[in-house]
Amino acid sequence: TTIDGPRTGLSNQAAYADLHGFVAGGVSSNMRARGIIEPIVVDSASGCRVRDIEGNELIDVNMGYGPHLFGYADPDVTAQIAAQFGRGHMTGLPHRIDREAAGLVAELVPGVERLRFANSGTEALMSAVRLARAVTGRTLVLTFEGHYHGWSETLLRSRGGDGRRPAPGAAGMIPEAMEHTLQVPWNDAAAVEKVFADHGAELAAVMCEPVLANDGVVVPDAGFLELLRRLTGEHGALLVFDEVITGFRVARGGGQELYGVVPDLTVVSKAMGGGFPVAAFGGSREVMEPLARYEAFHAGVYSGNHAALRAVAATLAKIRAAGALYTELDGIGAHAEARVREAVDGAGRTARIGRVGSMMSVALTDPATGEVDEAGHRLLQTACQRRGVYFHPVPAEPWFLSTAHTRQDIDTVAETISEALAETARG
Ligand code: PMP
């Protein structure tokens, strides 16, 4: 028996099938089950590598959906978290680490002076929307097609961006869940202007990922974030940036620093905690007043527990100390983009590649229509996985590279894609 439990000798496939008897759907997040053809059941992970229960080792470029700027099991961060566990990781009382972690977020993220910690992006976004409603006394929220803001009742939307209410995103949601939500296509300035013309006085918030990362990586058109900033300002609505992915990823201060557009409320999560379940939402001192006065409500027994905040403080201190970190991450991303592009071109295939720094999406496309070739992508994914390279089977899910990915690792990934494309072309 290891700390992971007894070794069963099961294959990935058998262990995953067995899991379904105990964990509904085999996973504790629906997102995790999407597109799986051949499951991986993990034994351990370090650096940019994941090892499964069969003893296979894979180079991972999905990296747990984005939290690991320094790779899995980064010794600097894990040592501090481990030390905190030895000192009591959850008392439900204020702790010195609260000030340290909050201070670092406020120092690094331009739009944050004061904040609250939460346990997940979903919680922080749900709370940010509630706060925006408390601040403005309005209810309507404008969202963008393809932007994922977690799975809470009023934010889990289906696609559909014609300026009206989207449909609720899942079975069991109340039919009225989207009554206070409008949705338009990303980068559609005319559609945004129309929503403001029709509903400007009802809008509590406009919410977006400053770089769309949940539908492939799609950067904002020049002037688009500025338009959102100007219109929200003119109409008394709050601009909310969901920087769950982009925060500390696309630049030290996230998308708002990269594009020079500062929102009223910011939500950060993944790269801040090095893989710990932690998120934060914050803004100016004034915007946070309803929470400072306990008039708006946000809570959580585990919100900002000492271990999670130790992870935040250790990660952000490391980010702050690493002078050329984002140049380094961009270099790894640029190398990956060039090598993958070469592999796709070399195979006579077409692909849509989006990238900002170390965040990159790769989706094979149908050369005739230019549309994403989901089936072709899945064949490629399976062939790569069998050869020891893991990216997500859903092409909309980005690659998240880290300082643990060497040029050589990236070359291996690109060579694997070349071989896999050759194999899948042969059928
Ligand atoms: N917002 C964005 C932009 C995300 O990518 C995600 C998760 N992938 C979430 C919110 C939800 O975060 P969580 O899964 O931690 O609730």
List domains and CATH numbers for the chain: 12-65+324-426 (3.90.1150.10), 75-321 (3.40.640.10)
79-83: long-range contacts, CB 8 A cutoff, minimum separation 24: 80/310, 80/311, 80/313, 80/314, 81/276, 81/307, 81/310, 81/311, 81/314, 83/310
Q: Is 243 in the pocket of ligand 1 (CB under 6 A)?
A: no
| Cα 131 to Cα 119: distance, rounded to the nearest angstrom | 17
Q: Under a CB-based contact definition with an 8 Å cutoff, are residues 145 and 159 in contact? A: yes
pLDDT of the residue at 298: 98
Question: Which pTM value belongs to this model?
Answer: 0.97
Whether ligand 1 lies within 6 angstroms of the CB of 148 is answered as yes
Q: Is 242 a catalytic residue?
A: yes
- Name the 3-class secondary structure at 42: strand
Show the tokens assigned to 26. Answer: 């085999």
Q: What is the pLDDT of residue 33?
A: 94
Ligand 1: atom nearest CA of 279 is 15
* Catalytic one of 16, 65, 72, 148: 148
> For residue 331, what is the enclosing H or E element?
helix 325-346
Four-CA torsion 117, 316, 229, 118, nearest 10 degrees? -10
* Residue 125 CA to ligand 1 centre (angstroms): 9
| 211 Cβ inside 6 Å of ligand 1 | no
- Cα of 60 vs centre of ligand 1, distance in Å, is 20
* Residue 141 and residue 204 in contact, taking contact as beta carbons nearer than 8 Å: yes
Residue entry with tokens 């406009």: 206
**What's the gap in Å between 213 CA and the centre of ligand 1?**
10
Per-residue model confidence (pLDDT) at position 168: 87
Residue 424 confidence (pLDDT): 86
Asked if residue 214 has its Cβ within 6 Å of ligand 1, the reply is yes
Q: In residues, how long is the chain?
A: 427
Residue type, 151: W
Task: Determine the residue of 119, 240, 244 to mutate for testing ligand 1's pocket, defined as the one with the most ligand atoms within 8 A of the Cβ atom.
Answer: 244
Residues 102-111 have pLDDT tens digits of 999 999 999 9
Ligand 1 atom with the shortest distance to the CA of 29: 14
Encoding tokens for residue 212?
Answer: 């769309």
Q: How far apart are the first and last CA of the chain?
A: 42
> Any catalytic annotation for residue 326?
no
CA of 153 to the centre of ligand 1 (A): 14
Residue entry with tokens 């109340």: 174
Q: Could you confirm whether 148 is annotated as catalytic?
A: yes
Which residue has tokens 């910011």?
266
For ligand 1, whether the C-beta of 149 sits within 6 Å is yes
Block residue for tokens 């070349």:
418
Amino acid 160: pLDDT: 84
- Mean pLDDT, each 10-residue run in order, the chain (427 residues): 71 96 96 93 97 97 98 96 96 98 98 98 98 98 97 93 84 92 97 98 98 97 98 98 98 98 98 96 98 98 98 98 96 98 98 98 96 95 98 96 98 98 83
Q: How far, in Å, are 123, 141, 264, 301, 306 from residue 298 at the CA level? A: 9, 19, 18, 11, 18
Give the bridge partners for 2, in sequence order: 5
65, 270, 373, 409: the active-site residue: 270
What is the reported pLDDT for 228? 99
Is 150 near ligand 1, meaning CB less than 6 Å away? yes
Six-digit token pair at 169?
């995103």
Q: Answer whether 244 contacts ligand 1 (Cβ < 6 A).
A: yes
Distance 278 CA to ligand 1 centre (A): 11
